[in-house]
Amino acid sequence: MPAPTIRHCKRCGSAVAYRVPDDGDTRERAVCTVCQTIHYENPLNVVGTVPVWQDQVLLCKRNIEPRWGKWTLPAGFMELGETTSQGAARETIEESGAQFEMGALFTVMSVPRVGQVHLYYRAQLTSPRFAPGHETLEARLFHEEEIPWEELAFRTVRETLMRYFEDRRRGHFDTHAFDIE
């Protein structure tokens, strides 16, 4: 189990203790020492797109940590009240200012080490013009041979791009689900 992240009860503010609750649960949880509220910790969803213009892929250079100055696909944390595809669209607009049509779900990657699930959708750009937001230093189109593989921010981006180019060569796109340990 990852290091404890909850220190105080969200209901009453008292300290929590990590233990297996008395309700028949089998996992250690943050339990309030006063009101006995059980706090569940669940993975965060990271949602984004693989935006394509003709035979090029759009990448964004990060203007935030972690990995400032590294290249990534437009993506970020899903917000409450939105679907995964809505979140991916929002993040793509915020980070690149791109105009696009959302495509099918492409990759689903569980990253248990950091408590995240990454979901990327294919997206077809409707214009090669961009207006990057404050989290992006630069948004740029790359041919496959131009991808700055050693300057990619995250392994999930690398794995998604590798599968995208493999599927493109085959002429058929699948949905890929896998774990990153």
The CA-based angle 27-29-33, given to 5 degrees, is: 140
Q: How far is the C-alpha of 87 from the C-alpha of 76, rounded, in Å?
A: 8
Peptide bond connecting 112 to the previous residue in cis, omega within 30 degrees of 0: no
pTM over 0.95: no
**Mean pLDDT (whole number) for 102-131:** 97
Specify whether the CB–CB gap between 9 and 35 falls below 8 A: yes
Q: What percent of the chain has pLDDT over 70?
A: 98
Q: Token pair for residue 40? A: 């569940």
**Mean pLDDT (whole number) for 54-78:** 98
Note the pLDDT of residue 2: 57
pLDDT tens-place string over residues 35-62: 999 999 999 999 999 999 999 999 999 9
Note the pLDDT of residue 45: 98
Note the pLDDT of residue 3: 65
The distance of Cα 180 from the centroid of its chain, to the nearest Å, equals 13
Note the pLDDT of residue 24: 87
**Mean pLDDT (whole number) for 61-81:** 98
Residue 23 predicted with pLDDT over 90: no
The DSSP H or E segment spanning 105 is strand 100-111
Residue 119 predicted with pLDDT over 80: yes
Specify whether the CB–CB gap between 59 and 51 falls below 8 A: no
Q: How far is the C-alpha of 31 from the C-alpha of 55, rounded, in Å?
A: 52
Q: How far is the C-alpha of 4 from the C-alpha of 69, rounded, in Å?
A: 30
Residue 1 predicted with pLDDT over 60: no
Name the residue type at position 21.
P
Residue 9 predicted with pLDDT over 70: yes
**Mean pLDDT (whole number) for 74-102:** 98
Residue 33 predicted with pLDDT over 70: yes
CATH 3.90.79.10 fits 44-179, yes or no: yes
Residue 135 predicted with pLDDT over 70: yes
Of 56, 55, 64, the closest CA to residue 94 belongs to 64
Q: How far is the C-alpha of 20 from the C-alpha of 34, rounded, in Å?
A: 16
Residue 124 predicted with pLDDT over 80: yes
Note the pLDDT of residue 143: 98
Positive or negative, the Cα torsion across 73, 111, 178, 180?
positive
Domain layout of the chain by residue ranges: 1-41, 44-179
Scanning the structure block, which residue is given the tokens 């408590």?
115
Beta strands 176-179 and 100-111, pairing class: parallel
In the CATH hierarchy, which fold is given to the domain comprising 1-41? Ubiquitin Ligase Nedd4; Chain: W; (2.20.70)
Question: What is the chain's mean pLDDT, rounded?
Answer: 96
